[in-house]
Amino acid sequence: MIRSIHTLLVPIPTIRTHKLACTVMKEQTLVLVHIQTEDGLEGWGEATTIGGLSYAEESPHSIKTNIDTYFAPLLIKEAPTSTAKAMQLLSQHISGNRFAKCAIETALLDIEGKRLGVPVSELLGGRVRDTLGVAWTLASGNTEKDIAEAKAMVAQQRHRIFKLKIGSNPLEQDLTHVLAIKDALPDCRITVDVNQAWTELEAIKGIKRLQDGHIDLIEQPISMRNKDGLKRLKEHFDVAIMADEIVQDPQNAFHLAAAHCADVFAVKINQAGGLKAGCLIGQLAHLAGIELYGGTMLEGPIGTAASAHVFSTFPTLNFDTELFGPLLLTDDILVRPLDYHDFNLDVPTGAGLGIEVDRDKVSYYANKYANQAQSLNG
């Protein structure tokens, strides 16, 4: 049974400015959940999102408040005896809050894996791959700087798949930026993420140019509310169109798959509402003949490890993953960082998530944030 649930806000600066259509990031606030059980086991989860409320309806502060106020008292009072029963309890009593639910499930699965002595991936059906290809996002907004950064990543054998964040600039400026980078990196896979910024007419013009320029993948070019428009784009172009923000939970993913709205689904465990929900989306997509991409909310190493366990179970993963979040941060909160090498990430093999959290670093950043918040509040 659960003895305690603690939620921590852990802001860590990024190694450089990360520019998206909806926001500009200079730090990432990790939302960490630490659960301890009566028999002495502990688990960690993460509910990290992007850009406060500019990206989604949950923010770091609302996630912490809701877990502390609603999730923790309910779980401790009702004392569910398994991860499945705990998640069913949360589903019955708490609407929405997919990111918060993901963090709780991650921590509980971490505990369950440790108790049984197996990796989380084995609790999710079993892994079929031990390494994951990882894309790097180029998001400085400066063409020459992005090209230099990408070439350095290739030389270090860290990444050879690159995503470009566009949509915040005029259409022609963004297209010129992307095509110049593709010309400079002809042997690399280049994808673009518009983060819903284009109208459907802009998307028709933009995707035509990008397809002619041999870009490999177009992610969520128009609003998530325009499901029919996404389908029209998918049917009109040969380049793969990926659904991202529109893919939210398994039921939503089922309807998108049935309507053939996209060529590829980006699966994000926080956005899906948990690891098991992420696995179900992957299975639905596979059965519908839709390709899979392992997405990220720019999580730190805990959420990244959890995502890696999920993506390792996917039957196919032809568009690889975007699990570079920890590499974007100036510091690591694990005793031993996740293992990135030869353009891949190794899926942890230890019990549970297979990671060891550096408590001192977590405490340092959490206390620093708490002290700053207290001084601002007078």
Residues annotated as catalytic are 165
DSSP 8-state secondary structure symbol assigned to residue 238? S
Residue type, 91: S
DSSP state of 325: G
Query: How far is it, in rounded angstroms, from Cα 9 to Cα 64?
Result: 8
Rounded to an integer, what is the distance from CA 315 to the centroid of its chain?
19
What is the gyration radius of the CA atoms in the chain, in angstroms?
20
CB 301 within 8 A of CB 277: no
- C-alpha span between 122 and 140 (Å, rounded): 38
Q: CA–CA separation, 87 vs 105, rounded Å? A: 7
How far is residue 239's CA from residue 249's CA, in Å, rounded to a whole number?
A: 25
DSSP line for 26-93? EEEEEEEEEEEETTS-EEEEE---STTTTTSS--HHHHHHHIIIIIHHHHHHH--SSHHHHHHHHHHH
Classified as helix, coil or strand, 344 is: strand
351 close to 118: Cβ distance less than 8 angstroms: yes
Point out which residues pair with 323 in neighbouring strands: none
Helix (H) or strand (E) holding 14: strand 2-19
d(Cα 123, Cα 144) in Å, to the nearest integer?
45
What is residue 9's DSSP assignment? E
Backbone angles phi, psi at 292, to 5 degrees: -120, 145
- The alpha carbon of 304 is separated from its chain's Cα centroid by a whole number of angstroms, namely 7
Percent helix / strand / coil, the chain, rounded to 5: 45, 20, 35
How far apart CA 33 and CA 18 sit, in angstroms, is 25
